Copies of this chain bind each other. A is one copy, B any other.
């Protein structure tokens, strides 16, 4: 918890500056956009993510930055709700679109135009989904990124001025082989890459642990790059975090519910990968989006769980603290949270 406290102390003067100076405010908006990829409405987390991507690959970082700028500017120019833009809700799909397209397509002058157009679309799709799902208090998650990136990736087969990279390999699934590596070579040095029960459990608990201690720099970057290489582990961890602590209050019942959601997300991952295999296309974060939606939609129907209203989503500790204070108004807060984590 020490690191978390230090980060909070650093953030405070920055926030005051961001409110007074429009340029700092814009940079703050961009950084929060990076942080929102992991549900973190926090400029410092966002900065560390961005640095992490640039360290890994300057080209991918540049592509992400272009997408981030294009989607955020689109939302600003179309005069979207100011507080939504400021929370980075339009930026995070843009940065993902930029990195995703740059990863799966060959680098090229026209790719920049392609990324800008896709990032603009991601902001429109974000607003479309907010209007479509807002009345049910359902989150859009990374659905704008998935939908936009798929549209722009599928299309390259018909366009002569953008080219797929070697990662896109169409082919029919082979039902008798049933070996994971038939579809796409998997890196063996990443957490949660293989589809074994051990890896899945490890990935799940590391994910939970990270959210508890907010110490998610290194792993955040790994997750981030993991999206682009292979999303098995990423989708499971993201699903578990979303269901287990963000959109439901963290209790042992919601933790179990989240574990099942994480397991299901690996099945959804395999299923979507098979569906896309004739085109050789990646599943991106679609397994996370679909699994999390299915497990968040029943929120008012399963009375053992405590759903969190979208407007009250912060982070798992804060959500649990608020919930406990409402349930037991007289109890002390700090110790409760400690013992819970």
Contacts and interface: CB of A to CB of B under 8 A. Distances in A.
How often does this chain occur in the complex, in copies?
3
A188 interface: no
Contacts of A298: 78, 80, 124, 127-128, 130-131
Interface in A154-203: 154-160, 163-164, 168-170, 172-175, 178-180, 183, 195
A125 interface: yes
B271 A155 contact: yes
Contacts of A327: none
Interface stretch (A6-14, A28-36, A261-269): A261-269
Contact of A131 (B125, B169, B300): B300
B169 A157 contact: no
Interface string A136-170: 10000000000000111011111110011000111
A120 interface: yes
Contacts of A169: 175
Contacts of A195: 158-159
Interface string A300-338: 111111000000000000000000000000000000000
A78 B303 CA distance: 7
Contacts of A97: none
Which of A160, A178, A257, A267 is packed against the most chain B CB atoms within 10 Å? A267
Nearest to A179: B160
A14 B295 CA distance: 36
Interface string A62-99: 00000000000000011111000000000000000000
A77 B157 contact: no
A198 to B, nearest CB: 13
Contact of A271 (B150, B268, B274): B150
A23 interface: no
A275 interface: yes
Contacts of A257: 78
A236 interface: no
A297 interface: yes
Which of A81, A120, A275 is packed against the most chain B CB atoms within 10 Å? A275
6 contacts: A117-B260, A121-B260, A121-B294, A127-B297, A127-B301, A155-B271
Given A128-B294, A172-B278, 10 more contacts: A121-B260, A124-B298, A127-B302, A128-B293, A128-B295, A155-B267, A157-B270, A158-B274, A160-B178, A172-B172
Query: Nearest 4 A-B pairs (CB), nearest first?
Result: A127-B298, A128-B297, A155-B270, A78-B302
Interface of A: 77-81, 117, 120-121, 124-125, 127-132, 136, 150-152, 154-160, 163-164, 168-170, 172-175, 178-180, 183, 195, 257, 260, 263-264, 267-268, 270-275, 277-280, 293-295, 297-305
